[in-house]
């Protein structure tokens, strides 16, 4: 529930009586109308010390893994459910609005035999473990529940070992759609599964793979047209269920991610309709109330300004404005102070131009977090903080870093993010550790392209320009999946309006020439930055560096391309351990994105198709780069005083 600061003041009895009813009405009106649907997200793996999981039957937690079944006894059932309910949809006067969600989990099944299996399910709250539900019933159904399917209210994705199939079913163990699945030959091997639901198209899709370093490319092996609002209630429980028959099998969930975001259009429409319907009756009364209230508040404000500092007023205003948005959790300063052990030096993960990042532990979350402490000495600290909170809280994508919460107390600007165990990309490219293997690099750049496609084309009704894409802002989770972070410089753009020039923010060496010189930011300027990062990943060298490579990275690779010897640009630390076709493809894509003519740069969706071998590699004209073209270098700083430089927190995840 949103909190409000109720302003009290002294008035004459007559005026107080006059204002009494409309004030009460306003208070009740806002309390009823303003309701927010928060994003729902969690991550569980072997490092999660306190997962919010409820266990039933034989299921249990073992060394950070969910073991559904491991008993030698026949006909056993195990179920694990996330403790908190998930809100699937919301309704208002104009209709219902559903949630999109994506879940990713990995599991193993040992000793595949007999009629048994594993299921991921969404079920009504209170759906109990039915008796006699072992074997092919997967711990979710029995003969009684099968006879009255309308009361079940459950949707599941089943991995049935005896039938060797994957299926989607609703309210019944019988699949609505299914496809074959070779479970026996993969016994004991880890399967990675992605299940996605798109409310706008009512499509539930399933993808699985047994690859060691899997990458989800948005494809599916099985999909079903299913309106969850017709099958399930507003709030459901999610989890896993498994069962065995006469033979012994072991079912283990090794990791589980879940991300959901309920559309807020319903909340906005509800407020609009209710406000319009009551406005006519109270228009005259509210007008008079506003005039009298304004006069009184003006006198009070003068007195308050003399007795209270402006800092406290500003802090209260920022907090109130943010609380009125549909934002992640607000933390208290004392919570984050305790989580980081008083922002201790041994908890410090990294430092950049805008602040420091500390590793923290929040007991109620059961996982480590990264706490970003923005430097208050910067004149832009407040705008960076508000901008990052408001923009990233709107976004949900597997390749974007997740904002967990925020805090603005005692003059501090604090942001709480998910902790990235493998830190930032630049650390792996330029650090002293082992060279980042090629398959991980290709996976990272593919994830970055996917994140940009989402920001530019799929993020609500607006286009989101990141404006500071660089290797230091690309974070990596435990399996080296891409997480794009640092949205302090990001910008919401209405694609229907003519773009206007902006104050330049960003990092030297990554900025497109039309943005650096003229302030024209666009999707194409983001793609230029993507191209520079693609070249960094391929070459293993910074966009500018001293010594042999005194020319820009783009210029150096372009000259090799013209000479027909582009593979010489490959990172020497890779040796020959890479796919020549893939590295050539990525180098050409990098040049394609960094050409000076912004109209000829590709969109993120085009890049994705080329990287997936779904589109041919473009032929680049030899006059694409002017001979005198050089991207803006650090030495250009004195010539461009209008820049606001950002220096990211390079070690956000470590």
The answer to whether 119 and 138 are in contact (CB under 8 A) is: yes
Distance in angstroms (rounded) separating the CA atoms of residues 411 and 414: 10
Angle CA 578–580–581, to nearest 5: 125
Asked if 69 contacts 243 with a C-beta cutoff of 8 angstroms, the reply is yes
Q: Which of 240, 252, 194 is nearest to 82 (CA)?
A: 240
Question: What is the C-alpha separation between 428 and 436, in angstroms, rounded?
Answer: 6
Contact 80, 59 (CB under 8 A): yes
Q: What is the token pair recorded at 195? A: 């299940």
Q: How far apart are CA 62 and CA 82, in angstroms?
A: 16
Q: Name the H helices within 454-570.
A: 513-518, 523-539, 553-562
Instruction: Please give the DSSP secondary-structure letter assigned to residue 460.
Output: T
Of 257, 426, 468, 571, the active-site residue reads 468
Q: What is the 3-state secondary structure (H, E, C) of 417-458?
A: EECCCCCEHHHHHHCCCCCCCHHHHHHHHHHHHHHHHHHHHH
DSSP H or E run through 118: strand 117-124
Alpha carbon distance 127, 146 (integer Å):
14
> Cα 21–27–29 angle (5° rounding)?
95
For β-strands 644-645 and 505-506, DSSP reports them as parallel
Q: Which of 417, 544, 408, 427 is nearest to 486 (CA)?
A: 417
Helices (H) and strands (E) in the chain, counts: 14, 29
Q: How far apart are the first and last CA of the chain?
A: 34
> Which of 555, 257, 590, 581 is CA-nearest to residue 399?
257
Strand 53-57 and strand 413-418: the pairing is unpaired
If one counts every other C-beta atom within 10 angstroms of the C-beta of residue 344, the result is 10
b or e along 603-620 (b: 16 or more beta carbons within 10 Å of the residue's beta carbon)? Answer: bbebbbebbeeeeeeeeb
650 is known as an active-site residue = no
CA atoms within 13 A on the CB side of 558: 26
Contact 120, 253 (CB under 8 A): no
CA atoms within 13 A on the CB side of 37: 24
Segment (H or E) for 272? helix 265-307
Contact yes or no for 135/117 (Cβ under 8 A): no
Q: Provide the annotated active-site residues.
A: 468
């Amino acid at each position: 529930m949103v909190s409000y600061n109720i302003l009290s003041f002294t008035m004459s009895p007559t005026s107080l009586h006059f204002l009494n009813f409309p004030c009460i009405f306003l208070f009740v009106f806002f309390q009823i109308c303003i309701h927010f649907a928060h994003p729902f997200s969690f991550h569980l793996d072997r490092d999660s010390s306190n997962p919010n999981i409820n266990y039933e039957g034989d299921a249990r937690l073992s060394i950070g893994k969910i073991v559904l079944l491991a008993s030698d006894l026949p006909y056993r059932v195990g179920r694990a459910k996330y403790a908190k309910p998930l809100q699937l949809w919301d309704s208002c006067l104009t209709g219902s609005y559903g949630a999109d969600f994506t879940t990713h989990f990995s599991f193993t099944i040992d000793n595949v035999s007999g009629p048994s299996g594993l299921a991921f399910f969404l079920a009504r709250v209170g759906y109990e473990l039915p008796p006699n539900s072992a074997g092919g019933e997967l711990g979710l159904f029995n003969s009684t529940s099968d006879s009255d399917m309308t009361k079940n209210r459950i949707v599941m994705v089943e991995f049935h070992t005896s039938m060797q199939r994957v299926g989607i079913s609703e309210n019944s163990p019988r699949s609505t759609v299914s496809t074959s699945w070779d479970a026996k030959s993969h016994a004991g091997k880890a399967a990675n599964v992605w299940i996605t639901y798109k409310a706008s198209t009512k499509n539930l899709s399933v993808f699985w793979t047994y690859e060691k370093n899997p990458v989800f490319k948005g494809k599916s092996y099985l999909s079903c047209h299913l309106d969850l609002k017709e099958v399930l209630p507003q709030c459901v429980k999610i989890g896993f269920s498994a069962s065995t028959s006469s033979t012994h099998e072991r079912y283990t969930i090794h990791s589980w991610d879940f991300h959901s975001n309920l559309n807020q259009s319903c909340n906005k429409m509800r407020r609009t309709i209710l406000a319009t319907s009551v406005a006519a009756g109270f228009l005259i009364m509210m007008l008079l109330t506003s005039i009298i209230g304004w006069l009184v508040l003006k006198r009070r404000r003068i007195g308050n300004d003399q007795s209270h500092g402006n800092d406290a007023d500003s802090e209260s205003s920022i907090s109130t404005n943010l609380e009125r948005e549909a934002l992640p959790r607000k933390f208290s300063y004392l919570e984050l102070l305790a989580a980081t052990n008083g922002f201790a030096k041994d908890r410090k993960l990294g430092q950049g131009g805008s602040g420091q990042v500390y590793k923290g532990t929040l007991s109620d979350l059961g996982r480590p977090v990264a706490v970003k402490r923005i430097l208050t000495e910067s004149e832009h600290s407040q705008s960076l903080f508000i901008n990052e909170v408001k923009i990233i809280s709107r976004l949900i994508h597997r390749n974007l870093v997740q904002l967990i919460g925020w805090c603005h107390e005692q003059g501090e600007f604090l942001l709480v993010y998910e902790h990235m165990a493998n830190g930032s990309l630049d650390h792996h490219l330029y650090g002293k550790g082992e060279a980042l293997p090629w398959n991980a690099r290709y996976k990272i750049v593919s994830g970055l392209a996917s994140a940009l496609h989402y920001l530019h084309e799929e993020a609500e009704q607006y286009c989101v320009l990141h404006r500071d894409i660089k290797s230091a802002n690309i974070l990596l989770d435990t399996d080296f999946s891409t997480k794009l972070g640092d949205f302090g410089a990001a910008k919401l753009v209405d694609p229907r309006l003519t773009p206007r020039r902006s104050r330049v923010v960003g990092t030297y060496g990554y900025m497109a020439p039309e943005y650096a010189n003229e302030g024209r930011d666009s999707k194409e300027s983001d793609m230029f930055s993507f191209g520079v990062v693609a070249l960094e990943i391929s070459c293993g060298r910074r966009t500018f560096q001293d010594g042999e490579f005194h020319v820009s990275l783009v210029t150096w690779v372009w000259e090799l391309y013209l000479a027909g010897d582009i593979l010489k640009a490959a990172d020497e630390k890779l040796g020959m351990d890479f796919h020549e076709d893939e590295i050539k493809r990525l180098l050409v894509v990098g040049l394609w994105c960094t050409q000076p003519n912004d109209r000829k740069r590709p969109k993120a969706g085009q890049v994705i198709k080329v990287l997936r071998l779904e589109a041919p590699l473009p032929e680049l004209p030899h006059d694409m780069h002017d001979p005198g073209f050089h991207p803006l270098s650090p030495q250009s700083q004195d010539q461009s005083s209008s820049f606001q430089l950002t220096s990211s927190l390079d070690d956000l995840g470590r």
